[in-house]
Amino acid sequence: MTMRLDQVVPFGRSFDEYVRMFALDAVDLGRSILGVADGPASFNAEGSAKGIRIQSCDPLYAFGADEIRDRFYAVIDNIITQIENTPNNWVWSYHKSAADLRKNRIKVTERFYADYETGKAAGRYLFGELPNLSYEANSFSLSLCSHFLFLYSAQLDLEFHLKAITEMLRISQEARLFPLLTLDQKKSPHLLPVVGHFQSRGYQCEIEKVAYELQPGGNEMLKISRL
Ligand SMILES: C[S@@+](CC[C@H](N)C(=O)[O-])C[C@H]1O[C@@H](n2cnc3c(N)ncnc32)[C@H](O)[C@@H]1O
Closest to 159 (Cα-Cα) out of 121, 189, 125: 189
Q: How far is the CA of 42 from the centre of ligand 1 (A)?
A: 13
pTM: 0.97
pLDDT at 104: 97
Q: Which of 58, 63, 212 to mutate to test the pocket of ligand 1 (most atoms within 8 A of CB)?
A: 58
pLDDT (tens digit, 9 = 90+) per residue, 75-102? 999 999 999 999 889 999 999 999 999 9
Q: Using 50, 70 and 90 to split pLDDT, how confident is the model at 8?
A: confident
Axis crossing angle, helix 98-121 with helix 65-84, rounded to the nearest 10: 160
Query: Which run of H or of E encompasses 18?
Result: helix 15-21
State the architecture of 5-226 in CATH terms.
3-Layer(aba) Sandwich (3.40)
pLDDT at 145: 98
Q: Using 50, 70 and 90 to split pLDDT, how confident is the model at 130?
A: very high
Q: What are the domain boundaries of the chain?
A: 5-226
Instruction: Give the 3-state secondary structure of residue 67.
Output: helix
Long-range Cβ pairs for the range 85-89 (8 Å, 24+): 89/185, 89/215, 89/216
Across residues 61-72, what is the average pLDDT? 96
* Cβ density class 90-124: b for 16+ within 10 Å, e for less: beeeebeebeebbebbeebbebbbebbeebbeeeb
